[in-house]
């Protein structure tokens, strides 16, 4: 090395951003407002320490599950859930609410008139739809059935396709809200609802309707005591969590309406975020996984700044 000459050290590479840092840096234009018409506000009785408990549920967007969504809107407008309860919590599975006495014709609360009845074929949408984000290739190799997963309007979906036929359906990830039902061909009205609180029970996909997802207050449903009865039912009525009210957000006074956004699943920020969830490169991680289950890519939600 010549006297007086020194080599400039290479710059230290910046650490890769974590998924949370990617979400925090997402520009305002990558966030999508959720209409108050598409939000259910469920108010539960205060907890043992007197703290209020509110759960926000985003309803499924068209064209999926719209018969059940229509019924849920009608039930909320009729204030049908007011005074009922959360009465079933099954460990690593679901939390369910509605009429705990619904199986007893003498005690069951009457349903509003005019609720729709949906066929089982409505569990699946039998037409091609553009996915905001697709995970996995479709129709590869050509002329064979291919399976895929992705997101539509902030919701997780799966599907199968051939050159002549495509089917899509929402899937049972954590926090998704489904319509409890009796034995087939019953498809449920939407009066009895549940949310997934454990490992994604994907065996339920296409066997039961999904009508929304919990976007805020999930802890009020996932942390409840597990029911000792069959399928997690609370055998002691004193364990039930009373429902004070369920309302469509747009029906609340303006000052009480929540203003919520989700990170658009068609945005560049979401694509970067989804890749970071599948391949953790931030400093804590040693080996990127190379992929992720779709249910391990939760769609970010925030209150509108």
Q: How far is residue 118's CA from residue 116's CA, in Å, rounded to a whole number?
A: 6
Q: What local confidence, expressed as pLDDT, does residue 10 receive?
A: 66
CA distances from 194 to 151, 232, 277 (A): 21, 12, 27
Largest separation between any pair of C-alpha atoms in the chain? 99
Q: How far is residue 304's CA from residue 286's CA, in Å, rounded to a whole number?
A: 35
Host H or E run for residue 19: helix 19-25
For the domain made up of 19-99+118-303, the CATH class stated in words is mainly beta
- Could you tell me the two tokens for 219? 């802890």
Q: How far is residue 175's CA from residue 219's CA, in Å, rounded to a whole number?
A: 10
Q: How far is residue 271's CA from residue 33's CA, in Å, rounded to a whole number?
A: 19
pLDDT tens-digit profile, the chain (305 residues): 555 555 666 666 788 899 999 999 999 999 999 999 999 999 999 999 999 999 999 999 999 999 999 999 999 999 999 999 999 999 999 999 999 999 999 999 999 999 999 999 999 998 877 777 767 544 445 556 688 889 999 999 998 886 567 899 999 999 999 999 999 999 999 999 999 999 999 999 999 999 999 999 999 999 999 999 999 999 999 999 999 999 999 999 999 999 999 999 999 999 999 999 999 999 999 998 888 899 999 999 999 99
Residue with tokens 């849920």: 72
Sequence-distant (6+) residues with CB within 8 A of 167 are: 124, 125, 126, 159, 160, 161
Q: What local confidence, expressed as pLDDT, does residue 93 receive?
A: 98
Q: Kindly list the domain boundaries of the chain, sorted by start residue.
A: 19-99+118-303
Q: What local confidence, expressed as pLDDT, does residue 140 receive?
A: 47
Bridge partners of residue 50, in order along the sequence: none
Q: Are 147 and 136 in contact (CB under 8 A)?
A: yes
Q: What local confidence, expressed as pLDDT, does residue 128 receive?
A: 79
Residue with tokens 């009508």: 211
Q: What local confidence, expressed as pLDDT, does residue 246 receive?
A: 98
């Amino acid at each position: 090395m010549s006297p007086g000459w020194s080599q400039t050290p290479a710059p230290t590479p910046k650490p890769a951003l974590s998924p949370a840092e990617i979400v925090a840096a997402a520009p305002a234009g990558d966030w999508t407002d959720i209409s108050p018409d598409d939000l259910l506000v469920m108010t539960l009785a205060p907890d043992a320490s007197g703290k209020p408990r509110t759960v926000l549920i985003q309803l499924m967007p068209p064209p999926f599950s719209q018969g059940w969504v229509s019924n849920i809107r009608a039930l909320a407008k009729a204030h049908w859930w007011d005074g009922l309860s959360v009465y079933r919590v099954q460990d690593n599975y679901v939390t369910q609410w509605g009429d705990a006495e619904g199986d007893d014709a003498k005690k069951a609360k009457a349903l509003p008139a005019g609720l729709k009845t949906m066929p089982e074929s409505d569990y699946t949408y039998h037409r091609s739809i553009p996915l905001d984000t697709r995970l996995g290739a479709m129709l590869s190799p050509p002329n064979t059935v291919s399976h895929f997963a992705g997101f539509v309007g902030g919701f997780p979906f799966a599907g199968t396709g051939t050159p002549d036929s495509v089917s899509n359906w929402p899937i049972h990830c954590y926090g998704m809200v489904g319509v409890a039902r009796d034995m087939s061909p019953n498809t449920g009205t939407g009066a009895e609802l549940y949310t997934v609180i454990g490992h994604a029970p994907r065996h339920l996909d296409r066997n039961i309707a999904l009508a929304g997802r919990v976007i805020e207050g999930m802890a009020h449903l996932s942390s409840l005591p597990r029911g000792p009865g069959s399928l997690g039912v609370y055998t002691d009525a004193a364990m039930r969590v009373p429902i004070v009210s369920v309302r469509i957000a747009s029906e609340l006074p303006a000052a009480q309406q929540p203003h919520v956004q989700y990170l658009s699943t068609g945005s560049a920020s979401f694509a970067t975020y989804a890749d970071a969830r599948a391949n953790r490169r931030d400093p804590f991680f040693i080996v990127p996984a190379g992929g992720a289950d779709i249910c391990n890519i939760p769609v970010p939600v925030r209150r509108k700044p």
